[in-house]
């Protein structure tokens, strides 16, 4: 399996959902960056289970420990290893899944590929794997913020058919964190929360959309052709559990526009080349143009539902399965820090690549 992401800022995650713990190794972080667990823990707290009534009730503190790569509170330029123990694992809730494939989960495909799988909560396919990404992303966000003045934010903009009214150019972190669904539109947030609660009580799940924005990205980051900035963002987002779609800037809505309507005219403002619109989403020709980079990620309803479904067992017989265990009725609130983390990882990797090639 490919467990490593990035070129110069390389992240390797490890661990299973109900094993001893999960973690990450970050290689390529610049030296002399002030870094302690206190810089990383807030993002893990936003990702952890059990934080509200609309997420999985699994009780994990997700306390991170830096094992290597720092000395006297600063990075050394050597690999940074971080570990988070699993404290509330209950593998017994998954014993039936040892012989039955959960519909729309990775049970069957992992078995088909490897001939073996960790059936305890999905092993590596569980969203618990994203702890490593979020921990690494916290480091990347610190680099972007302190060295480049870049702000990375994400928020829930849609739950099923409920759509929020939010401007990604002006949204603030405190607005996003003002409610448990992480939607900065208070009216929409209330309706979203009520919908998720109804779905949870019915033993079902629901999906939606997380929007991401990076403000302050300078022009020139990204590569032509295969390593376009938006292509790397798409790969990053579609590697997240339950993600099913990605669009940047105008996205699919751009197909309804003419070229004249869609083009972003250039103007000089404050001695800088700027655009008067931003249908490109801050990226043109695979390279950032100095405007805000904004995009949307579609997440499907969580595959594990507490209702009986048709399936097949490992002996290839038809059967049924009613899942047990603790699961998110909607992944979106906890996906917000995951989207922010993957955005930061892509941007900091391209920042380092740009410096190595062009500065």
Tens digit of each residue's pLDDT (9 = 90 or more) over 208-262: 999 999 999 999 999 999 999 999 999 999 999 999 999 999 999 999 999 999 9
| Report for 16-25, 43-52, 131-140: range of highest mean pLDDT | 131-140
CB atoms within 10 A of CB 253: 11
pLDDT at 325: 65
Q: Which residue has the tokens 């928020």?
A: 155
pLDDT at 163: 98
The answer, yes or no, to whether residue 2 has pLDDT greater than 60, is yes
Cα maximum dimension of the chain: 69
pLDDT band of residue 1 (cuts 50, 70, 90) is low
CA dist., res. 174 & res. 357, Å (int): 37
The CA–CA distances, whole Å, from 228 to 2, 64, 284 equal: 20, 33, 9
pLDDT at 280: 97
pLDDT band of residue 72 (cuts 50, 70, 90) is very high
Provide mean pLDDT across the span 280-308. Answer: 95
Q: 200, 286 in Cβ contact below 8 A?
A: no
User: Please, what is the average pLDDT of the chain?
Assistant: 94
pLDDT band of residue 49 (cuts 50, 70, 90) is confident
Beta bridge partner(s), residue 22? 15, 84
CATH of domain 4-358: 3.60.150.10
- CB within 8 A of 335, min separation 6: which ones? 154, 210, 240, 242, 297, 299
Per-residue pLDDT tens over the stretch 95-106: 888 899 999 999
Provide mean pLDDT across the span 5-31. Answer: 95
- If one compares 106 and 325, the residue with the highest pLDDT of the two is 106
pLDDT at 181: 97
The CA–CA distances, whole Å, from 294 to 18, 126, 212, 254 equal: 35, 27, 6, 14
Reduced to 3 states (helix: H, G, I; strand: E, B; else coil), residue 11 is strand
Q: 14, 22 in Cβ contact below 8 A?
A: yes
Residues of the chain with pLDDT > 90, as a percent, come to 82
- If one compares 8 and 49, the residue with the highest pLDDT of the two is 8
The answer, yes or no, to whether residue 272 has pLDDT greater than 90, is yes
Spell out the domain ranges in the chain: 4-358
Residue-wise DSSP of 284-322: ETTEE-SSPEEEEEEEPPPS--SS-EEEEBTTS-EEEE-
13-17, 66-70, 253-257: the lowest-pLDDT one: 13-17
Which of 12, 16, 84, 15 has its CA nearest to residue 47? 84
The answer, yes or no, to whether residue 323 has pLDDT greater than 80, is no
């Amino acid at each position: 399996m490919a467990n490593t992401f990035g070129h110069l800022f390389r992240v390797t995650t490890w661990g299973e959902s109900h094993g001893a713990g999960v973690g990450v190794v970050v290689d390529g972080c610049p030296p002399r960056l002030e870094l302690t667990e206190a810089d990383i823990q807030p993002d893990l707290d936003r990702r952890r289970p059990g934080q509200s009534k609309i997420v999985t009730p699994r009780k994990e503190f997700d306390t991170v420990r830096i094992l290597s790569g720092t000395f006297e509170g600063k990075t050394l330029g050597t690999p940074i290893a971080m570990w988070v123990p699993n404290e509330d694992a209950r593998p017994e809730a998954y014993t039936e899944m040892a012989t039955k494939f959960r519909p729309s989960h990775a049970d069957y495909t992992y078995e088909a590929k490897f001939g073996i799988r960790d059936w305890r909560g999905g092993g590596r396919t569980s969203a618990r794997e994203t702890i490593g990404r979020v921990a690494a992303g916290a480091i990347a966000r610190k680099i972007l913020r302190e060295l480049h003045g870049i702000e990375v934010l994400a928020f829930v903009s849609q739950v099923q058919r409920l759509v929020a009214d939010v401007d990604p150019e002006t949204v603030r972190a405190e607005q996003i964190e003002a409610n448990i669904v992480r939607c900065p539109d208070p009216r929409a947030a209330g309706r979203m929360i009520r919908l998720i609660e109804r779905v949870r009580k019915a033993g079902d799940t629901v999906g939606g959309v997380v929007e991401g924005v990076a403000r302050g990205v300078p022009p020139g980051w990204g590569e032509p052709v295969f390593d376009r900035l938006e292509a790397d963002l798409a790969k990053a987002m579609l590697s997240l559990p339950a993600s099913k779609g990605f669009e940047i800037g105008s996205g699919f809505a751009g197909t309804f526009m003419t070229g004249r309507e869609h083009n972003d005219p250039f103007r000089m403002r404050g001695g800088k080349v700027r655009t008067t619109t931003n249908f490109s989403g801050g990226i043109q020709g695979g390279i950032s143009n100095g405007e805000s980079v904004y995009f949307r990620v579609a997440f499907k309803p969580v595959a594990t539902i507490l209702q009986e479904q048709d399936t097949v067992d490992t002996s290839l017989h038809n059967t049924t399965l009613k899942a047990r265990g603790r699961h998110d009725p909607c992944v979106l609130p906890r996906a917000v820090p995951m989207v922010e983390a993957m955005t930061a990882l892509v941007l900091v990797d391209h920042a380092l690549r740009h410096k190595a090639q062009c500065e």
